[in-house]
């Protein structure tokens, strides 16, 4: 549904409009938060808390810009504050995160096709290789942590990751 | 880009993307990226596929419906219930201002619950209890099988309600040893030819003959079992454990636990038991448990049969148990491993029941303590929060 219609719906029937808004934006806002925060749980937390507040404070009734840019900048600011609260962060990684967030926010990383592509690539990997890759990408594990978790040596982790990366590159280049 | 270096450069790029890189290497890689087009291209491809995979993996685990359920249940009934519209807005606002703090509290409580609810389900393997006969036959003993009687070359087996009994067919096979293997997640009971009953815990093995020879009854055990030995003073019953320990009895009931080879435990419920290891002996009285370690020999203590024997009823009690203690049971019963994020503080008290899914135990724990967990690759990971 068009954003303008969503806003109209919100005025006519708040609950219904709010649900439509949620359905349309929840996942993409989660993705935005995840790219910025690099932490899946925090990302969902941020977005859920945001929606909660949005409903409770009826903030959507005062939106002056477009709905989309309102939502995106709200998540972005919340994430920025979160990152600042963290004890350690490097300037570089944050700038990097911003770039990525802006790059990817519109070009459809949520695409089903991309997900299928990634899944195919992952499925073609041997089990241990896949598990190590998933752990490292999603949980930001260091080599030693991953090695401990899987009960293997650091070198095994490195070899497996290299395999996963080259497979991923292969598949994703084909996709582009 | 020199070929010799390509492997190394790939490694540096992965290190960089994962964030496990030394400052020196980082500088080196950044220089290579700015100087060498090929390296730059490799870096960009790697980065894009890494971030793409990361994003796709993340999106896959985002459960929008669960999130909506959580949200709509938490904030207000008006999102769910149509009639809420008739409540006057101002009244609602007043109500909300009262309810909001409550709602916030319940978010935190609900978070545990819902985060568990959207988890992938654990799957449990269904490995069967197996009997390996001396004749080379192997028979799967399925508790739910329709055919309760199995005819083998050596014996007729009756397998009913998790208990195995048998009748010998050919006397020449009588004394050779057969092995009953109980895998993780299962347990089993067998009635031997002399009437002795043996309850086997998960991940355990019993070697036994279909009939005992004239002067003694010898069986071999790995894992844990409870024995109820039929009295026969003329024919001592001997359980050989891990080749290092003999448990000799006349007629009695006792529990042998040999999961840990450096602490073999024999707990005597009634009768009397003589333990023998390489010439060293120990006599056990009812209510006492002997622990044998190859290094330290025998030691005795009283035991709580609630704790030691509860496995037979399919229940274990934990009292401020650490992860290793929990895992010992959970791996045996569910074939699932519990891991913890670094720094997560684990001390668990509670009862775990075998015939219930592991999730139930975990959900009880999350409800009563601050413990949070997630299911991953069919393992449990306790979160550091």
Cα–Cα distances (Å) from B237 to B172, B204, B269, in that order, read 22, 19, 16
B59/A30 CB distance under 8 A:
yes
Task: Report the pLDDT value the prediction gives residue B221, as an integer from 0 to 100.
Answer: 94
B59/A104 CB distance under 8 A:
no
- Percent of chain A exceeding pLDDT 90 equals 6
Give the tokens for residue B282: 């120990």
Q: How far is B35 from chain A (nearest CA, A)?
A: 20
- pLDDT score of A100 more than 60: no
Average pLDDT of span A104-125:
67
Q: How far is A50 from chain B (nearest CA, A)?
A: 11
Average pLDDT, chain B: 79
Residues B171 and B284 in one domain: yes
Question: By C-alpha distance, which of B202, B235, B230, B192 is closest to B216?
Answer: B235
Tell whether domain A112-175 is in CATH 3.40.50.10420. no
Closest chain A residue by Cα to residue B8: A162
Task: Report the pLDDT value the prediction gives residue B111, as an integer from 0 to 100.
Answer: 45
Residues B213 and B347 in one domain: no
Question: By C-alpha distance, which of B239, B313, B300 is closest to B267?
Answer: B300
pLDDT digits (tens, 9 = 90+) for B133-148: 888 888 888 765 656 7
Q: How many residues does chain A have?
A: 176
- Percent of chain B exceeding pLDDT 70 equals 83
Q: Yes or no: say if B196 and B218 are a contact pair by the CB < 8 Å rule.
A: no
Average pLDDT of span B63-72:
85
Average pLDDT of span B377-381:
83
Q: What are phi and psi of A17, to 5 degrees?
A: -65, -40
- pLDDT score of A164 more than 50: yes
Which residue range(s) make up the domain with B35?
A: 3-61
Q: Sort out which chain B residues have CB atoms less than 8 A from A154's CB and list them.
A: none
Task: Report the pLDDT value the prediction gives residue B115, as an integer from 0 to 100.
Answer: 43
Give the tokens for residue B307: 């704790």
pLDDT digits (tens, 9 = 90+) for A10-39: 777 777 888 888 888 898 889 888 888 888
CA distance B383 to A97: 25
Most confident of A119-133, B214-228, B310-324: B214-228
B356: domain CATH number? 3.55.50.30
Task: Report the pLDDT value the prediction gives residue B379, as an integer from 0 to 100.
Answer: 84
- pLDDT score of B114 more than 50: no
Map tokens 């048998």 to a residue.
Answer: B166
Q: Sort out which chain A residues have CB atoms less than 8 A from B11's CB and list them.
A: 158, 162
Question: By C-alpha distance, which of B97, B90, B59, B47 is closest to B76?
Answer: B97
| Among the partner residues B11, B57, B64, nearest to A26 by beta-carbon distance | B64
Average pLDDT of span A93-106:
52
Residues B89 and B232 in one domain: no
Residues B71 and B57 in one domain: no
Question: By C-alpha distance, which of B100, B78, B98 is closest to B87?
Answer: B78
Tell whether domain A3-104 is in CATH 1.10.287.130. no
Task: Report the pLDDT value the prediction gives residue B50, as an integer from 0 to 100.
Answer: 83
ipTM: 0.82
Residues B95 and B213 in one domain: no
Task: Report the pLDDT value the prediction gives residue B88, as an integer from 0 to 100.
Answer: 43
pLDDT digits (tens, 9 = 90+) for A65-94: 678 888 888 888 888 888 777 755 555 555
| Among the partner residues A51, A104, A137, nearest to B53 by beta-carbon distance | A137
Q: Is B245 left (phi over 0), alpha (psi -120 to 50) or beta?
A: beta
Average pLDDT of span B277-305:
86
Q: Yes or no: say if B366 and B116 are a contact pair by the CB < 8 Å rule.
A: yes
CA distance B11 to B4: 13
Q: Sort out which chain B residues have CB atoms less than 8 A from A134's CB and list them.
A: 57
For B227, the 3-state DSSP assignment is: strand
Residues B111 and B155 in one domain: no
Residues B44 and B82 in one domain: no
Average pLDDT of span B32-47:
88
Is residue B123 in some structural domain? no
- Percent of chain A exceeding pLDDT 70 equals 76
Average pLDDT of span A96-121:
60
Task: Report the pLDDT value the prediction gives residue A5, as an integer from 0 to 100.
Answer: 75
Average pLDDT of span B169-187:
85
Average pLDDT of span A92-104:
53
Q: Is A50 left (phi over 0), alpha (psi -120 to 50) or beta?
A: alpha
Cα A26 → chain centroid: 11
Choice among B90-94, B194-198, B352-356 with the minimum mean pLDDT: B90-94
Q: Yes or no: say if B202 and B187 are a contact pair by the CB < 8 Å rule.
A: yes
Which residue in B58, B86, B115 has the most chain A C-beta atoms within 10 A of its own C-beta, making it the best mutation to test that interface? B58
Map tokens 């709509």 to a residue.
Answer: B72
- pLDDT score of B96 more than 60: no
A23/B62 CB distance under 8 A:
no
Question: Which residues contact residue B285 at a Cβ distance below 8 angstroms, ignoring those fewer than 6 apart?
Answer: B268, B272
Q: Sort out which chain B residues have CB atoms less than 8 A from A15's CB and list them.
A: 78-79, 82, 84-85
Q: How many residues does chain B have?
A: 385
Residues B291 and B276 in one domain: yes
B18/A136 CB distance under 8 A:
yes
Q: Sort out which chain A residues have CB atoms less than 8 A from B55's CB and list them.
A: 31, 34-35, 104, 109, 114
Choice among A139-143, B162-166, B265-269, B345-349 with the minimum mean pLDDT: B345-349
B228: domain CATH number? 2.60.120.1440
| Pairing mode, strands B338-340 and B197-200 | unpaired
How many independent structural domains does chain B possess? 4
Domain definitions of chain A by residue range = 3-104, 112-175
Residues B221 and B236 in one domain: yes
- pLDDT score of A111 more than 70: no
Q: Residue A153: how many CA atoms within 13 Å on its side-chain side?
A: 3
Choice among A10-24, B72-86, B135-149, B344-358 with the minimum mean pLDDT: B72-86
Q: Please, what's the b/e burial string for B121-153 (b: 16 or more CB within 10 A of its CB; e: otherwise)?
A: ebeeeeeebbbbbbeeeebebeeeeeeeebebe
Residues B268 and B322 in one domain: no
- pLDDT score of A130 more than 80: yes
Residues B219 and B299 in one domain: yes
- pLDDT score of B206 more than 70: yes
Give the tokens for residue B133: 């006969």
């Amino acid at each position: 549904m068009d954003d303008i219609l969503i806003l109209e719906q919100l005025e006519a029937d708040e609950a219904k409009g709010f649900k439509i808004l949620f359905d349309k934006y929840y996942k993409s806002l989660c993705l935005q938060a995840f790219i910025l925060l690099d932490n899946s749980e925090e990302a969902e937390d941020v977005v859920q808390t945001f929606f909660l507040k949005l409903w409770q404070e009826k903030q959507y009734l005062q939106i002056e810009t477009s709905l989309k840019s309102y939502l995106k900048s709200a998540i972005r600011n919340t994430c920025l504050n979160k990152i600042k609260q963290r004890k350690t962060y490097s300037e570089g990684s944050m700038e990097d995160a911003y770039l990525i967030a802006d790059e990817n926010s519109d070009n459809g990383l949520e695409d089903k096709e991309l997900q299928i592509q990634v899944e195919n690539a992952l499925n073609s990997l041997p089990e241990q290789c896949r598990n190590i890759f998933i752990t490292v990408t999603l949980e930001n594990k260091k080599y030693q942590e991953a090695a401990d978790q899987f009960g293997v040596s650091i070198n095994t982790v490195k070899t497996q990751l290299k395999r996963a990366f080259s497979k991923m590159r292969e598949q994703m280049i084909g996709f582009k | 880009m020199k070929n010799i270096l390509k492997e190394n450069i790939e490694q540096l790029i992965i290190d960089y993307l994962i964030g496990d890189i030394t400052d020196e290497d980082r500088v080196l890689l950044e220089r290579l990226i700015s100087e060498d087009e090929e390296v730059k291209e490799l870096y960009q491809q790697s980065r894009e596929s890494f971030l793409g995979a990361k994003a796709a993996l993340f999106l896959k685990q985002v459960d929008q419906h669960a999130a909506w359920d959580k949200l709509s249940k938490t904030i207000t009934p008006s999102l769910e219930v149509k009639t809420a519209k008739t409540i006057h807005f101002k009244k609602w606002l007043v109500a909300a201002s009262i309810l909001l703090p409550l709602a916030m509290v319940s978010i935190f409580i609900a978070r545990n619950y819902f985060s568990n609810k959207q988890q992938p389900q654990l799957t449990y393997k269904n490995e069967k209890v197996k009997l390996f006969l001396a004749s080379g036959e192997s028979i799967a003993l399925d508790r739910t099988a329709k055919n309760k009687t199995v005819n083998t070359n050596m014996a007729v087996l009756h397998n009913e309600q998790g208990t195995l009994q048998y009748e010998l067919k050919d006397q020449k096979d009588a004394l050779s040893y057969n092995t009953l293997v109980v895998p993780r997640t299962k347990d089993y009971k067998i009635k031997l030819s002399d009437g002795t009953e043996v309850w086997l815990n998960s991940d355990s093995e019993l070697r036994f003959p279909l009939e005992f020879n004239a002067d003694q009854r010898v069986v071999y055990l790995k894992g844990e079992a409870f024995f109820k030995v039929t009295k026969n003073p003329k024919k001592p019953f001997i359980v050989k454990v891990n080749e290092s320990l003999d448990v000799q009895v006349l007629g009695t009931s006792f529990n042998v636990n040999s999961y840990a080879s450096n602490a073999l435990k024999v707990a005597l419920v009634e009768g009397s038991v003589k333990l023998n290891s390489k010439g060293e002996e120990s006599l056990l009285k009812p209510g006492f448990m002997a622990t044998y370690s190859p290094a330290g020999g025998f030691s005795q203590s009283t035991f709580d049969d609630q704790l030691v024997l509860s496995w037979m009823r399919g229940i274990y009690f934990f009292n401020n148990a650490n992860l290793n203690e929990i895992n010992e049971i959970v791996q045996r019963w569910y074939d699932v491993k519990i891991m913890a994020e670094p720094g997560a503080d684990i001390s668990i008290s509670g009862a775990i029941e075998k015939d219930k899914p592991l999730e139930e135990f975990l959900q009880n724990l999350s409800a009563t303590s601050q413990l949070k967990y997630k299911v991953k690759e069919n393992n449990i990971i306790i979160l550091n929060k």
